[in-house]
Structure 1
């Protein structure tokens, strides 16, 4: 079941909310645990019913292991729990990848095993491993089984995050807090849901229509022109951002309807001024998990500079592999690991020589301008289906396949057309990505959207502060900040109608991170 489907928005969600408010009115928090768990299991099973058993089995196993670890503080038992979780993840997600890699090494034929990847298995595995580690470290709350079952299966975050921590989220499920749910919680939740749906249905899916054809040609090893390669990459760069941040907005908004605040997962990452800054803004909860449960246990920065850089690379390689069973994701992770090492090395150099040296100041500003192009380059490997496809895209981006320009764009050059076409070795031809004026307009508007407009939490920051649902305002509210007025209601209604119409007119598309 997809967040951007009519069955979810018009059937499932109203039923869940009705049951929730009945439990809140006539029952207690234990009723709500049971109700939301049953709804979450139904939500998960709507995709593949047989995997409800996998979800419940995983919850029962990890809760039992957690109890034993709490009693014995056994490191061996902790290791056993982690290994079982990773073994399950390896079987469903990585078995064919391992077999294919082994077959390539041996030069034998590869016969894939028929395995359907359970939705959200990476997210489910991560949060349960983190819980076992926290129990061993005495950093966990005594959740009790109903609360733990809901913690793992809670449907707003179940499929693609944010990756929640039990203390920051489950502590909010109390009778007092549930009794304090106000209209502001609902209004803020609806605003975020509409914002997320707009990002996904209107922007991300439109960008997909421009990025997919060129990457499909690359996967088929068909030549792509210079402008098409760059256009497709730019489109995918925006597609994955609006797709995943849209999911996170919807998840956070849904949880607000139950009076529970999920952690922010995106903070305008394409506005980052360094790769370090980028990873503090992109998929924030994953970055936090990798830091707390992988980078720090590996030694972090406590054993010298070289060990620190090695740890960074290991973490990013594993983070890349976590995204998918493909060497393309490993390359993507390795590329970001190299970026982070360069960034940290430059920061070290600045501390040693002084931040105010003119060459270093100039270099800092230059590097800040290179962050977005560097991130774009890494998406080539993330999106490509094979090394050959990625290589073809890179060659096209360097102009090896020629530069095509439609006649209608040549006309815009006027008398300079012949000279420009000759100078840049351009040829007349049709484009896959930028072939229409509409595509160009979309790219301009979406680029302005990303770099000029405030993000979701900035839009709602002042409203949250005034409603008591958020902490202190950390930045000046933008001019277009959300306010519960008649005008905002009209705008919200318009967005809702546009989204529902777009969903009704076609088959809802999966979120990119559903496959992870």
Structure 2
């Protein structure tokens, strides 16, 4: 079940929210667990037991670390707990990859080696395993206490708004909200608004430009124009698809009284790769920094070690996205640029905006090519097109099957990326401070009132358009479900 499906919007979500608000406040973690497990089991019931098992494992070792706080046993229990979580991730996400790679090195195939099975990747495993690891490490570091309530912890791990594709949450940031959170009509309405924006990003923008990307990456000899359009379209598709999911997750959390961290901050206006990773998938960037980069030594062990740490962390970050050499190369691409910027002391504030922004955007898009490609060879095909080895113009056979609407939405998506900050500012009445009358009554200014009206009209229109589009299009899962 995905957020952009009719069964979620018109069946699961209304029934869950009804049950949630009918449940006494002290027992709402039970409702979250039941609803989240149902949500996950909608995909496959068998893998629900893996989620429950990982939750129980992490909960137990969290208690043992707390019990032996300050002793060597705490470190041992932390190591065992983290190793168990990594083992789950390693087996289900990377075993197929290692078998395929070994067979390729041996010049044969898995079938010829006697391996006739393939493991299915459980959806969301990368996210809930990372959350489990951070929980154990935070307890060991004394950054957070272990919870005694298994239900509260299970609710944290299985919280369905972010279970499948993040944001990656940390228990220490959410513990207070799990035990006590504020519910209000204003917060619920804000959550509906945020969810609507995310749904519109996914259905009206990401899905609309996807055919252009698919058409380009399906070609065996793309021209420059075809390769560039495909690269641009996928960059926009991925952003609106993933940021749309994050908006929907944050909105759903607000409907339930939770405040999740932001996961995106206009990443395509970045003027360096370093800045890009402060704006893109922020929860993953912070996780990699706190649980990989800093433990490896960060920038405290000399220049060479700093470069090594940057590249290593990004390699592992690439591998986290998927068990494929394409993701390793993508991680290496970003890691090398981070090291280069640090070595050259690149500062985006000291360079002209009209130079640093398009250069950074181009570097990011070049990386998305290998991220999107199914194989390294497929990525190389697009790169050949980008340097003009197959010609430069659009061909008639490429345009077959593509509608004019796809290209219109491509331009619209690009315009929204460029003007996103101004759009958000205009349609956010809360950005204007209310005026206080002599009697102490707070009232919105005229401009804020107009913004509030415009906001309501826009969101209503977005919801109508999105639902209408959902009714006519086929199933389209979120891109990050595969990770």
Same fold by TM-score, threshold 0.5 exceeded? yes
Counterpart Cα distance in 2 of 1:289 and 1:514: 19
Q: Which residue of 2 aligns with 1:275?
A: 273
Aligned partner of 2:470 among 491, 503, 515:
503
Q: Does 1:390 align with 2:387?
A: no
Per mean C-alpha deviation after superposition, the further-off stretch among 125-134 and 66-75 is 66-75
Q: Which residue of 2 aligns with 1:51?
A: 47
Per mean C-alpha deviation after superposition, the further-off stretch among 491-500 and 7-16 is 491-500
Q: Which residue of 2 aligns with 1:422?
A: none
Aligned residue runs from structure 1 range 130-279, under 5 A: 130-143=134-147, 144-175=149-180, 177-178=181-182, 181-217=183-219, 222-279=220-277
Q: Which residue of 2 aligns with 1:84?
A: 84
Aligned partner of 1:322 among 315, 320, 323:
320
* Secondary structure, aligned partner of 1:172: helix
* Secondary structure, aligned partner of 2:421: coil
Q: Is the 8 A contact 1:2 1:508 kept in 2?
A: no
Counterpart Cα distance in 2 of 1:384 and 1:152: 31
Q: Which residue of 1 aligns with 2:282?
A: 284
Counterpart Cα distance in 1 of 2:273 and 2:310: 13
Q: 1:169 to 1:310 in 2, by over 3 A?
A: same
Q: Is the 8 A contact 1:160 1:514 kept in 2?
A: yes
Q: Which residue of 1 aligns with 2:412?
A: 445
Q: Is the 8 A contact 1:460 1:482 kept in 2?
A: no
Q: Deviations over 1:279-304 (max 9, x none)?
A: 00000000000000000000000011
Q: Is the 8 A contact 2:63 2:146 kept in 1?
A: no
Q: Is the 8 A contact 1:93 1:117 kept in 2?
A: yes
Q: Which residue of 1 aligns with 2:341?
A: 343
Q: Is the 8 A contact 1:227 1:434 kept in 2?
A: no
* Secondary structure, aligned partner of 1:223: coil
Q: Deviations over 1:465-509 (max 9, x none)?
A: 879xxxxxxxxxxx9989784443332222111111111112231
Q: Is the 8 A contact 1:124 1:152 kept in 2?
A: yes
Q: Deviations over 1:170-222 (max 9, x none)?
A: 311345x33xx2221111101111100000011000111110122123xxxx2
Q: Is the 8 A contact 1:275 1:339 kept in 2?
A: yes
Counterpart Cα distance in 2 of 1:46 and 1:434: 33
Q: Does 1:123 align with 2:90?
A: no
Counterpart Cα distance in 2 of 1:371 and 1:480: 36
Counterpart Cα distance in 2 of 1:194 and 1:480: 23
* TM-score relative to the length of structure 1: 0.85
Q: Deviations over 1:1-38 (max 9, x none)?
A: 10000110111111111111111xxx232x10001111
Q: Is the 8 A contact 2:138 2:144 kept in 1?
A: yes
Q: Is the 8 A contact 2:209 2:407 kept in 1?
A: no
Q: 1:129 to 1:232 in 2, by over 3 A?
A: same
Counterpart Cα distance in 1 of 2:20 and 2:144: 26
Q: Does 1:403 align with 2:407?
A: no
Q: Is the 8 A contact 2:426 2:451 kept in 1?
A: no
Counterpart Cα distance in 2 of 1:433 and 1:444: 19
Counterpart Cα distance in 2 of 1:291 and 1:306: 18
Counterpart Cα distance in 1 of 2:361 and 2:80: 41
Q: 1:326 to 1:226 in 2, by over 3 A?
A: same
Count matched residues: 463
Q: Is the 8 A contact 2:208 2:406 kept in 1?
A: no
* Secondary structure, aligned partner of 2:257: coil
Q: 1:456 to 1:2 in 2, by over 3 A?
A: farther
Task: Give the drift of 1:347.
Answer: 1.8
* Secondary structure, aligned partner of 1:320: helix
RMSD: 2.4
Q: Which residue of 2 aligns with 1:471?
A: none
Q: Deviations over 1:39-85 (max 9, x none)?
A: 00000110011111111111111101111111124212211111111
Task: Give the drift of 1:110.
Answer: 2.1
* Secondary structure, aligned partner of 2:393: strand
Q: Which residue of 2 aligns with 1:62?
A: 58
Please list every run of 5 or more consecutive structure 2 residues that lacks an aligned counterpart in the other structure.
435-445
Counterpart Cα distance in 1 of 2:174 and 2:324: 33
Q: Which residue of 1 aligns with 2:14?
A: 14
Counterpart Cα distance in 2 of 1:482 and 1:390: 50
Q: Is the 8 A contact 2:89 2:126 kept in 1?
A: yes
Q: Is the 8 A contact 2:427 2:454 kept in 1?
A: no
Q: Does 1:308 align with 2:306?
A: yes
Counterpart Cα distance in 1 of 2:260 and 2:314: 25
Q: Is the 8 A contact 1:211 1:433 kept in 2?
A: no
Task: Give the drift of 1:436.
Answer: 5.6
Counterpart Cα distance in 2 of 1:367 and 1:441: 27
